[in-house]
Structure 1
């Protein structure tokens, strides 16, 4: 293993890797020496509509091989429990073990909460949150079994994909924001569960110009010819490569915001203020006396404090 290829001999799975962020991440890991299982369901619609196709995953795998890397394409629905099991097994059969899992697959079905259908809610939660869980469940079992068989920690890396939507709120994406918040909770819980086996688990909140964000960033316009695109997915993939590498062995349970040459570490929620009753039990009047002035003094509509990463996208849905 060289410094230039820290993932040589490793096998990685990247879901939703046929386009956009997932494709950039798959190419990054391949460049670091990993044999990449390029998973994608290949549906043309960003809402998960259309016929499944192996073409997107095959095209990315072919790009990796053309550059001298190793890749295997996989057509599969990560939200299907048995297909997720098969994807992890494919990695094991291909490389002898799964070493890196990057959960990226997702869809969008945006709607205000008062207009959202049951299917629009269920489908987004299914692909994002259940899709993350399915792959994590089988990867975690694989690593636990290996650790028990050898009596020592294994090499395991999970990188999940959340969004600033879970921090900032996203009025037109209650399904997406809820799924992404759930992914953060799943990340921190899994990080604690797998720590003793040597596995790290982290989440990223990326900003990137992809098929899923084309409407969100349409108002920003495209970069001038020859000018760098601050929202290119290639600004995100190096962080994924780092988190997948041996160098990040001591980094786990963390959430990162990443885009355009910037990485921010998100602090876990802290107590902003505390109020104690002067009696044994609070009354509504006492709470009114304490809480109403407190919230009146805070900025209007302030909820959670977002990391100081600029104003791009504040108050909108961020993918």
Structure 2
């Protein structure tokens, strides 16, 4: 088990006075709301507007604002490196697969969003497969995953992967122990085959503490904008926390191979987890900036005989804002 699961998270409220517990919980709720705001803000910010926003925000208490400033600056810097990495992947015809596994609400989706945020979706795509169909259940287990592997010059991020069999399927009883054992026998050989074929395979496990997962689930229950993230399977995973821990330990023991090792991301602090994961991913590849020819915008061609036709008003979206 990752050491993070034995550590008390920031904002831990045990063994405190009632007033201190209340204050600690209010602080965590405030940070959670700030983080939700940040998630939306990140989608719109560029460097210039970020500077303006943070300068105008001097009225905000300095501590939290400074912390968010550092986070945004590092995120934007790392995203610029991701774009260089993307260009290198295309130029060198690399094939990259990154697997994201971990506890429910551990932050996998958040880091995937930050990785893909400024990248070309034709080059970097996400594979988030739904539950298998009746037909897929009769196929070779890995068949539906293999079809999503990258071609040369592509990056595929698996938001959960074939390791479902070692985790949710095993814990929830969707697969037999014989099927799980066959999975463990097959995975090392399959992943070695991927690597021999030229695929770079990176596997991340996002780890959070019991207390932090409970807090995030509670926040989702209370937030109408996030309730969709909670499935009956997520709720059941809370009850089976220890079973998931045992399944994870078995998965690491059987599938942590030199050709494709596991990397654990400590996820109690969402922002640090995102930055640490992106930084680590970039460190695994010897990418360099690809030289490009200067882009010159061509002159617009004008046709003096063309007259633009007026469109009827009902074709336009009303300008409410």
More helix by share: 2
Tell which has more relative contact order, 1 or 2 (C-alpha 8 A, sep 6+). Answer: 2
Is the pair's TM-score, using the shorter chain for normalization, greater than 0.5? Answer: no
Give the shorter-chain TM-score range: 0.3 to 0.5
Q: Max radius of gyration: which structure?
A: 2
With structure 2 as the length reference, what TM-score do the two structures score? 0.36
